[in-house]
Amino acid sequence: MATLKGDVQGGHWQVLRALLPLYEAITTIDLGDGISTSFWFDVWEGDEALADIFPALFSHCTQKEATISELLSAGLQQSLLPRLSRQAAAELPLLQARMGNLVLQANPDKRLYLFAKGEAGIDSKALYRLLKVRGQPEDQRASFIWKNFAAPHFQLFMWLLIYK
């Protein structure tokens, strides 16, 4: 699960927290034990995060940061407010049906990158092309970041810090 909790303060941590939704959006999870995967925010079932598929039910959740393992152990119903709106009540059986065949494994969860570059991690060049607005004039900061010898993941990190 991609989280930044605890005593992490300062402007750079705020930027990193703001980038978590982007990180979650470009990754999917090969589900294992469910210990490190966010039930609501990570994409582990289908093509979208459950918070996006079931927004009314998510709004009634009291444990929004729960992992799959935590939510399955306690029970989904325990993480919801006692009274659900009509929309949330309509979404609940749909979510329960999706969870019906869910079996956790002994192996750890594995994060898969949409912009994978083999075992090397994220293909930052492809991600940069996606993030860059068409027709935008070349920026000196962009040239400095992308045309140096830093590792691609550092380049991407710097790009996101500057433009976020």
Rounded to the nearest 10°, the torsion over CA 127, 131, 137, 139 is: -70
- Residue-level pLDDT at 100: 85
Tell me the CA distances in angstroms from 46 to 59, 144, 152, one per residue in order. Answer: 20, 38, 29
H or E element in which residue 112 lies: strand 110-113
Cα separations (Å) of 145 from 115, 121, 150? 19, 18, 8
- For the cut 90, the answer to whether the pLDDT of residue 123 exceeds it is no
Looking at residues 61-72, what average pLDDT do you find?
Answer: 94
Helices (H) and strands (E) in the chain, counts: 8, 2
130: tokens are 């996606």
3-state SS, residue 111: strand
Range 109-121 average pLDDT: 72
Measured at the CA of 139, the angle between CA 136 and CA 140, to 5 degrees, comes to: 170
Query: Tokens 């009540």, residue?
Result: 89
Give residue 122's pLDDT band: very low, low, confident or very high (50, 70, 90): low
Question: Could you give the 3-state DSSP secondary structure of residue 9?
Answer: coil
Per-residue pLDDT tens for 69-82? 999 999 999 999 99
